[in-house]
């Protein structure tokens, strides 16, 4: 992909408050809460702001209207009694579908080794990573086509693309309004429900259609339980998804449970993302890390 610099100084006014398998990284708090759902399209009027399903279907559009935001991510993967958590922080432009995250990997099991953070650039149909893993030169990026991933990059990067996380809610089938609460000083509405990835793919933006469709096929189930927290303008302040997929093991420990959490704040923040030039993208073999069979770099 030919590199280009997209620099956009978004609104100066603020409109509001305010990881699994890449490079051996994985995946935040497995929310045990089940999906206590109303029937599809059922309405909870009043304090919840109307029909929960309809409200959640519009949540991604509200983010586009907001323009941009700062983001924090957390991803936890649990398999065979082992739990690993990865955290990220950065910015995202919902209009241009461009973002940048600094993803911090956990220490090795012995606690003696500290990984360098992975810099991730998020773009429609692509994920670019620097410090991706052993064997990749320090000045090179690894490019991954997200619609080629069996999880649609909802898990692989160690952080869920914030806009993809929002567009999963376009597939909401059942939802209930739990009540009002406070999140980082902002009053929010808490919704709990289940989304269908295939349905989300049909309603998603062009940049996420193929990726979400791939996830619908690749996960153990296309049904995704979630908890979403929206402010009074309908913007997502926090969303937690719970994914499940098979890692192909034959020892009976093949199901991996993943909880991915995205926090959004400081809406209107300036976003500057420079995508790599072709010459800066690594095309060689990538060394495998824990839980990662390795991959070839792609131009």
The one-digit pLDDT tens for each residue of the chain (299 residues) are 434 333 333 332 223 333 333 333 333 222 222 333 333 433 333 345 689 999 999 999 999 999 999 999 999 988 777 788 999 999 999 999 999 999 998 866 555 556 788 999 999 999 999 987 767 888 899 999 988 888 988 998 899 999 999 999 999 999 999 999 999 999 999 999 999 999 999 999 998 999 999 999 989 889 999 999 999 999 999 999 999 887 655 454 567 889 999 999 999 999 999 999 999 998 876 654 333 433 444 44
Domains and CATH numbers, the chain: 19-287 (2.50.20.20)
Q: What are phi and psi of 276, to 5 degrees?
A: -65, 150
Distance from C-alpha of 207 to C-alpha of 217, rounded to nearest angstrom: 17
Q: What are phi and psi of 62, to 5 degrees?
A: -65, -35
* pTM confidence score: 0.78
Residues 154, 147: contact at Cβ < 8 Å?
A: no
């Amino acid at each position: 992909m030919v590199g280009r610099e997209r620099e956009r100084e978004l609104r100066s006014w603020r409109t509001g408050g305010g990881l699994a398998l890449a490079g051996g990284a994985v995946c935040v708090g497995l929310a045990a809460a089940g999906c206590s759902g109303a029937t599809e399209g059922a309405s909870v009027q009043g304090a919840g702001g109307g029909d929960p399903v309809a409200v959640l279907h519009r949540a991604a559009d509200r983010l586009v209207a907001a323009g941009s935001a700062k983001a924090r991510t957390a991803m936890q993967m649990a398999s065979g009694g082992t739990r690993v958590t990865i955290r990220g922080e950065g910015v995202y432009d919902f209009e241009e579908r461009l973002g940048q995250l600094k993803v911090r990997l956990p220490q090795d099991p012995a606690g003696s080794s500290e990984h360098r953070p992975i810099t991730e650039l998020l773009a429609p149909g692509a994920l670019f990573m620097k410090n991706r893993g052993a064997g990749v030169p320090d000045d090179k990026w690894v490019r991954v086509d997200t619609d080629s991933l069996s999880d649609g990059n909802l898990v692989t990067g160690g952080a869920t693309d914030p806009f993809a996380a929002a567009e999963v809610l376009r597939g909401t089938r059942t939802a209930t309004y739990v009540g009002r609460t406070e999140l980082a000083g902002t009053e929010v509405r808490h919704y709990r429900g289940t989304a269908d990835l295939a349905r989300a793919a049909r309603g998603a933006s062009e940049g996420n259609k193929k990726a979400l469709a791939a996830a619908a096929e690749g996960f153990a189930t296309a049904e995704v339980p979630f908890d979403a927290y929206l402010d009074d303008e309908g913007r997502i302040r926090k969303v937690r998804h719970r994914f499940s997929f098979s890692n192909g093991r034959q020892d009976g420990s093949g199901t991996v449970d993943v909880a991915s959490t995205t926090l959004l704040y400081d809406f209107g923040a300036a976003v500057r993302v420079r995508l790599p030039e072709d010459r800066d993208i690594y095309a060689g073999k990538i060394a495998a890390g824990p839980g990662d069979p390795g991959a070839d770099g792609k131009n």
